[in-house]
Amino acid sequence: MEIALTPLEFARRTRRLHPDRLAVVDRGLRLTYAEFFDRCDRWSSALQGMGVAPGDRVAYIAPNTHAQLESFYAVPQLGAVLVPVNFRLTAEDFVYIVNHSGATVLCAHADQLDAVDGVRDRMPGVERFVALEGARPGWEDYEALIAGASAEFDRPEIGERDLLTINYTSGTTARPKGVMITHRNAYMNSVGTLLHGRIGIGESYLWTLPMFHANGWTFTWTVTAAAGVHVCLPALDPATVFELVRTEDVRWLCAAPTVLIMLANASREVRGDVPAGVRVFTAGASPAAATIERLEDGFGWTVTHVYGLTETAPFITVCEPRAEHAGLAPAERAAVKARQGVELITSGELRVVDGNGAEVPWDGETAGEITVRGNVVMEGYYNDPEATERAMGDGWFHSGDAAVVHPDGYVEIQDRLKDVIISGGENISSVEVEGVLLRHPAVLEAAVFGVRHEKWGESPRAAVVLREGATATEEEVIAFARDNLAHFKAPTSVEFVEALPKTATGKIQKFVLRGGASAVSRQ
């Protein structure tokens, strides 16, 4: 008899084999796997008592707490669909996502109760409002509901192609789209992560990555599959990160490059003694080789670059190390590790194609769009057949990312297609230019984007955040770029800013920078 490919299988196996092993650390709370899954079962029972049935949607607005983690088991094992909402969004976004998803139950952390209270009358489909922490009038108390519930409930049969979650994209230029992820999608991504990441039994994983972000890159289930320890981190703070790495013997964490930059550049006073041996998965944007080099040579950590999208559950590629990489100089090795890499064993087929759909040569120079089909690709966008057709109507999911393929098969993103700068007929990768600027000793962060140019059509402009206490002039930054790049790729103008505009998941919003830049460059 077949068993459905679902991450709920990881829970079944781990609670059977490792009931007394530590599962969750959340501030002062420590739960074994037996205790954690008992809470999940009681919450499933409570939800079922509220009338939640297979196919119903339950939305969560919460940071990385044990209650948020419990949702990834308690909701799906009812056959219901979890909607993890980005808690950093606005109240207007909450209204749109909750209504669009059709959620009938909304669970929120104490920090989000005020925002929801201000708009709850505009969420007519929500029948129950549950406060995960900080209960107040008008809200049901999560802990009281769990305490009063039985651990027994009717368990429906789960199909691997059943809907598991609806994850909403960041919606930086349009309404967020609801990405439909199945049990099979998440299971295959988790297995691929375990094959390439090899998390050990009982190893501690620190939740520096938001759980709402593509289901925490499925580490919400992957860590459990390895019987690891979920170390919750409700608010990202470098000093707390380093403290937990020390006190909880953290072996794993995931983070976007912006977070890695924050950690790599933390002062000695903030970071203290940094234990070596931490393994890091980074994705969300292309990490600079300089950042990887700092973490690996400075901290003794191992950084692995993975690539994907919410629509691909999320991993498509991993920059897995090869024996021949070990002999490279640190800077060369870091440059290789900054590439997106090769297909995961479980993810499916990836091709980089030109405008006619033909695969580009593996020459490290010819750019095309990353397309993918296979086990991790979403079912489609929820209630949006037109967007689904545009993204994957030909049987391949089109990523919108421009990339080259090196002779060894390793993919390297050059840019988002919409962010490629075309200057005098030449394509300029903003990612490449940013990587060079980040090697400047005074530069902490950099974003490069195109602005109109009287002669060349477009030219590169850089927005730069300097390191604390560092100084640099526009002329110095441009000269540094020209010394390390073909001259036509170097920025023709530089703006120094306090911070770069970012989405709630840490991606730089270049459309904001373009909108605020001078209309025409004449340099």
Q: What is the CATH number of domain 236-416?
A: 3.40.50.12780
Q: Is residue 523 very low, low, confident or very high in pLDDT (cuts 50, 70, 90)? A: very low
For residue 472, give both structure tokens: 């640099």
Q: Which CATH class is domain 29-182?
A: alpha beta
Residue 50 tokens read as: 């509220």
* 156 contacts: CB under 8 Å, gap ≥ 6: 54, 78, 79
Question: 145-201: per-residue pLDDT in tens?
Answer: 999 999 999 999 999 999 999 999 875 456 889 999 999 999 999 999 999 999 999
pLDDT at 313 over 60: yes
Residue 519 has pLDDT above 90, yes or no: no
Same fold, 29-182 and 236-416: yes
Q: What SS3 string covers 129-155?
A: EEECCCCCCCCEEHHHHHHCCCCCCCC
First to last CA, the chain: 70
Cα(46)–Cα(27) distance, rounded to whole angstroms? Answer: 25
Domains of the chain, residue spans: 29-182, 236-416, 420-521
Maximum C-alpha span of the chain:
72
Q: What backbone phi and psi angles, to 5 degrees, belong to 47?
A: -65, -40
Kindly report the CATH number that applies to the domain delimited by 420-521: 3.30.300.30
pTM: 0.85
pLDDT band with cut points at 50, 70 and 90 for residue 504: low
* No. of helices (H) and no. of strands (E), the chain: 18, 27
For residue 174, give the amino acid letter. A
Place of tokens 């300029």: 428
Q: Which strands make up the sheet holding 128-131, listed edge to edge? A: 140-141, 128-131, 105-108, 57-61, 81-85, 163-168, 178-182, 380-381
Q: pLDDT (tens digit, 9 = 90+) per residue, 389-427?
A: 999 999 999 998 999 999 999 999 887 777 778 676 566
